[in-house]
Copies of this chain bind each other. A is one copy, B any other.
Amino acid sequence: MEDVAREAGVSRALVSLVMRDSPKVSPAKRSAVLESAAALGYSPNRLASRLASYRTNTLGVLFLDLHNPVFADIYDGIADGLAGSGNQVMVAVGSADPGTELEAVRSFVDLRVDGVILAGYTGSPEDLAAALRGTPAVVITRELEVDGVDSVLCDDFRSGALAVEHLHGLGHRRIAHVDISEWLPYTARREGYLWAMRQFGLEPLLVHSDMTERGGRAAMNNFLASGAAVPTAVFAHNDLTAIGIMEALASHGLAVPDDVAVVGCDNIEVAASPLIGLTSIDQHAGELGRLAAGAMLKRLAGGPGPAVARKLEPALLVRRSTGPGAAP
């Protein structure tokens, strides 16, 4: 920078201004600076500028899992919602390990990102608040009551109820739910399922799995091997699990939807594929990402304040997996 300034015959401060295209610099000097910068192959060290300016114009986005395509949809929404705001996105990927996500958040905070967007967070509100140290955050898919942390989600309780209502309407009475791990803080879908089952006077049947295709397959295989009476319908926590369930059913010679109807959740792209035809409950992933970006921008502009939550209404999309012929 020193060199560029000398080469262009100006001061370092002027170079700094040009690099951030400030309007308060004469066109002549500007082009002179730009020219010698190009000649010297200079580009500003952003670490230094961030350190000095206290502003990084960078948002950290944490994904729980790259394998679930719903996160790609969320990413697109975030990118769309941030477009033109001058903010950069830094992505981190969590993992099954519960400590990893907090580690990633801490890392974002140590890097002084302006805000953190969490697409899925499985830890406690207290741990998150501690890791954030006041950095604004938006959590997608979960409602957290932490100051400065907004929530954007789809009504999970309603999603669970919607699935049961749909299946009940088709005549199903033995409706199972393949859920996630018991200890995860995502309980609303299960509760919606349980609530609706009770409303209809039906006996709930809960099986736990791990949110993956493989997990869904294993859960259903285990169940079928157990010799227990097979339900006529299954509601899975997400589409990946639902697809795994369909695979297990197929490998046991059970037809979908005639023997067993299946409902998933998320409405990932492949669910709509004619090869799969999975009835699913759309969580509006793209819209959630867009809203999260909007909420973050608003908070960045508006300063601290109490948590704001935005909850979307889920939408049932009926496809072949609960289609005609599904009546038991």
Q: Chain A 98-111, CB within 8 Å of chain B: the 1/0 string?
A: 00000000110111
CA distance A150 to B164 in the complex (A): 53
Number of residues of chain A lying within 8 A (CB) of chain B: 44
State whether the Cβ of A276 lies closer than 8 Å to any Cβ in chain B. Answer: yes
CA distance A133 to B44 in the complex (A): 12
Question: Of B44, B112, B275, which contacts A110 at CB under 8 A?
Answer: B44
Q: Is the CB of B45 within 8 A of A110?
A: yes
Q: Is the CB of B91 within 8 A of A90?
A: yes
| Chain B residues closer than 8 Å to A71, beta-carbon distance | 66
CA distance A45 to B269 in the complex (A): 41
State whether the Cβ of A243 lies closer than 8 Å to any Cβ in chain B. Answer: yes
Question: Of B51, B243, B246, which contacts A47 at CB under 8 A?
Answer: B51
Question: Of B66, B110, B275, which contacts A246 at CB under 8 A?
Answer: B275
How many copies of the polypeptide does the oligomer hold?
A: 2
Q: Chain A 76-101, CB within 8 Å of chain B: the 1/0 string?
A: 10010000000011111101000000
| Chain B residues closer than 8 Å to A88, beta-carbon distance | 107
Nearest-CB distance from A37 to chain B (Å)?
13
State whether the Cβ of A273 lies closer than 8 Å to any Cβ in chain B. Answer: yes
State whether the Cβ of A25 lies closer than 8 Å to any Cβ in chain B. Answer: no
| Chain B residues closer than 8 Å to A247, beta-carbon distance | 273-275
Q: Chain A 263-302, CB within 8 Å of chain B: the 1/0 string?
A: 0000001100111100000000000000000000000000
State whether the Cβ of A24 lies closer than 8 Å to any Cβ in chain B. Answer: no
Question: Of B48, B92, B275, which contacts A276 at CB under 8 A?
Answer: B275
Q: Chain A 229-250, CB within 8 Å of chain B: the 1/0 string?
A: 0000000000000010011001
State whether the Cβ of A20 lies closer than 8 Å to any Cβ in chain B. Answer: no
State whether the Cβ of A41 lies closer than 8 Å to any Cβ in chain B. Answer: yes
Task: Known A92-B89, A276-B275; judge A112-B72 contact (CB<8 A).
Answer: no
State whether the Cβ of A69 lies closer than 8 Å to any Cβ in chain B. Answer: yes
Of chain B, the residue at the smallest CB distance from A103 is B88
Nearest-CB distance from A312 to chain B (Å)?
22
Q: Is the CB of B90 within 8 A of A92?
A: yes
Of chain B, the residue at the smallest CB distance from A75 is B66
CA distance A47 to B79 in the complex (A): 24
Of chain B, the residue at the smallest CB distance from A74 is B66
Question: Of B48, B106, B273, which contacts A243 at CB under 8 A?
Answer: B273
State whether the Cβ of A213 lies closer than 8 Å to any Cβ in chain B. Answer: yes
Most B CB contacts (10 A, CB to CB) among A72, A79, A92, A247 go to: A72
Instruction: Return 15 A-B CB contacts under 8 Å, by A number.
Output: A43-B109, A43-B133, A45-B51, A46-B111, A48-B51, A66-B72, A66-B75, A75-B93, A89-B93, A90-B90, A90-B91, A91-B93, A250-B274, A270-B270, A275-B275
The 10 A-B pairs with the shortest beta carbon distances in the complex, nearest first, are A91-B91, A66-B72, A46-B110, A67-B72, A47-B51, A247-B274, A250-B274, A47-B50, A66-B75, A46-B111
New A-B pairs, 4, CB < 8 Å, besides A44-B110, A48-B51, A91-B93:
A47-B51, A67-B269, A250-B274, A251-B274
